[in-house]
Amino acid sequence: MDDKNASVVELFGKNARLYEEKFMDTQEYQNALDVFCRNITREQAAILELACGPGNITRYLLQQRPDFRLLGTDLSPAMLDLARKNNPGAIFQLLDCADMTTLPDRYDGIMVGFLLPYLSQEATVKLIRDAVSMLQPGGVLYLSTMEDDYTKSGWRKSSTGDEYYQYFHQGAWLQEVLREHGFSVIHEQRKSSSNGDGTPVTDLILIAGL
């Protein structure tokens, strides 16, 4: 793990409860989350969630689809403790997204909610490539990120004063990478939001199927 990733893991671990208080309500993203659920038609579908945090998205998915067999993963033990508390019916484990191909199962859907702001372009391409091998035929991939020119990526200070490295990704680039790996984009959504330091930012959500 390099210094950029280590700083993010430390930041989220230290501020896990603050993050839980701020982001447990997923109302602003329910439309896109519903699209993800609707496009997974198999009953008892297997879902992999990367960087699940305190289990905010997990909770919404299981409310909509109690039949989902969901595995939530994160690099922060503190976040995993909160996720287990918030979702007693789900299974969680410590896992780096870069190691997802070590998991023994294949999935009907992979949920990646706001992990990309902490992944370089190279790491993002690897994640999409790995997702292909981890998804069942017809599987669905959900990606959300903060959209801007990649050259604007850099170190930032959170509202708690902690420093972290944030990457921006552009929708056109992400769609190209998805297409190159055999995905078709099902849903594209943008909304205005604010960054951890209070500056305005555009949230981008892409849902793609194999």
pTM above 0.85, yes or no: yes
- Please give the residue range of the domain that contains residue 152: 3-209
Q: Taking CA 99 as the corner, what is the angle to CA 79 and CA 52, rounded to the nearest 5 degrees?
A: 25
CATH number of the structural domain spanning residue 148: 3.40.50.150
Residue 131 token pair: 């997702």
Q: 10: pLDDT confidence band, cut at 50, 70 and 90? A: low
Q: For the chain, what is the domain count? A: 1
Q: What is the pLDDT of residues 15-44, one digit of tens each?
A: 566 656 766 678 889 999 999 999 999 999
Check whether 84 has a pLDDT greater than 60. yes
How far apart CA 152 and CA 201 sit, in angstroms, is 12
